[in-house]
Amino acid sequence: METSRKVQLLCSKALSEAMDVRTMCHVARRLIPGYDIYQETGFPESFAIPNRDAADTIIRNIIQKDLFLTFVETLLRIEKEGIMSRVVQIPYLNDILKEIYNSGYLYDSENQMFVENPRVRKTRNWGTLQDGETYTLAFLGIDIIDNTGIVRKYPGETVERTYTEFSYIVQNITEKRDGRLWAWEGDGGVIAFFLGNKYLNAVLSAFEIVNQMFLYNRTLCSLKEHLHFRISIHSGECEYTANKEMLTQSEPVKHLMEMEKNFSDTDTVCISFSVKMMLDEYISRQFSPLKKGGKNRYFQYRLGWETND
């Protein structure tokens, strides 16, 4: 993010008033390995660098390396956990956070990082994932069943309208829970979840899609038949890249596609064991184990009428 002169001054004052130069350098080296304050300031090593000069230099270097948000995240952890076995109170922290919020970012306490405010902008990386860094994400894959048959059977205008409505249902539901569309090809795609409880967000999105499609098929669908689909959810570590094609080649996404192809049934939600183990007991009990799956374990949710036991 772009940093104003005001927020730079606030950060410099916060550092210089909360820490001595040695502690400041310790913080700087968390972000910039091998950081040398004497080399950066030009002061001789025999000279005691004034706190404010050291702080000004560190803040300038951090901003130059596009590490400003990471720096503030570090300050938040230091105020909570301390540093070098000391409790540290960071002054002006609320003022700094206010400036960041005004710039369109929110703090995600689950991941302890700043992310874009979805009311301001929505990008594939939530405004925070960095190229080459590895993150744990949950992925929801969805596609229309018998896409080829539908395209052959109905006029192009009907197909386009139906698929647009399907896309709107999926995107509207997943974006409400901070999902981001990583791939979409008309008849389906992949949505990634990273913020908050990503596993629960993906599963609740899937449940809502199933419910909405139940209503859609009986009220709005232009086809002379129901529009059938299948949903799969998997999680795993993924190295982020701005290259959209490479994103969909990551191991968790390829595993998701394998689930979708071989284990997901019509109008159901299929989840992997890695997702199920992260759900609370009530949500987890909505899934039944699949007999197929080989050495992998998969579980299925199907919409049904509630019965009184």
Residues of the chain with pLDDT > 90, as a percent, come to 82
**115 token code pair:** 């992310």
Spatial separation of the C-alpha atoms in residues 185 and 248, rounded to whole Å = 12
**217 token code pair:** 């098929």
Spatial separation of the C-alpha atoms in residues 65 and 187, rounded to whole Å = 41
pLDDT at 306: 61
3-state DSSP call for residue 134?
A: strand
Confidence of residue 305 (pLDDT cuts 50, 70, 90): low
Q: What average pLDDT score do residues 161-179 get?
A: 96
Res. 23: pLDDT tops 70 = yes
pLDDT at 45: 87
Q: For residue range 65-81, what is the model confidence (pLDDT) as tens digits?
A: 999 999 999 999 999 99
Helix axes 5-18, 21-31, angle to 10 degrees: 120
Sorted by where each begins, the domain ranges of the chain are: 5-103, 134-302
Res. 248: pLDDT tops 90 = no
pLDDT at 296: 66
Confidence of residue 155 (pLDDT cuts 50, 70, 90): very high
Residue type, 138: A
Beta-carbon contacts of 161 under 8 Å, excluding residues fewer than 6 positions away, are 222
Q: For residue range 85-140, what is the model confidence (pLDDT) as tens digits?
A: 888 999 999 999 999 999 999 999 888 899 999 889 899 999 989 899 999 999 99
Q: What average pLDDT score do residues 230-245 get?
A: 94
pLDDT at 294: 60
Res. 20: pLDDT tops 60 = yes
DSSP sequence for 233-298: EEEEEEE--S-HHHHTTSHHHHHHHHHHHHTPPTTEEEEEHHHHTTS-HHHHTT-EE-S--TTS-E
pLDDT at 14: 95
Q: For residue range 183-221, what is the model confidence (pLDDT) as tens digits?
A: 999 899 999 999 999 999 999 999 999 999 999 999 999
Q: Which CATH architecture has domain 134-302?
A: 2-Layer Sandwich (3.30)
Q: Residues 138-149, buried b or exposed e (16+ Cβ, 10 A)?
A: bbbbbbbbeeee
pLDDT at 182: 95
Helix axes 21-31, 51-64, angle to 10 degrees: 10
Average of per-residue pLDDT values in the chain:
93
pLDDT at 72: 96
pTM for the full predicted model: 0.85
- Strand partners of residue 230: 143
Place of tokens 């960041």: 100
3-state DSSP call for residue 41?
A: helix
pLDDT at 1: 75
Q: What average pLDDT score do residues 42-52 get?
A: 91
Residues of the chain with pLDDT > 70, as a percent, come to 97
Spatial separation of the C-alpha atoms in residues 43 and 240, rounded to whole Å = 39
Q: Please enumerate, as own/partner, the contacts of 101-105 that have beta carbons within 8 Å and a separation of 24 or more.
A: 103/1, 103/2, 104/1, 105/1, 105/69
Res. 172: pLDDT tops 90 = yes
Beta-carbon contacts of 246 under 8 Å, excluding residues fewer than 6 positions away, are none
Q: What average pLDDT score do residues 55-69 get?
A: 95
Confidence of residue 24 (pLDDT cuts 50, 70, 90): very high
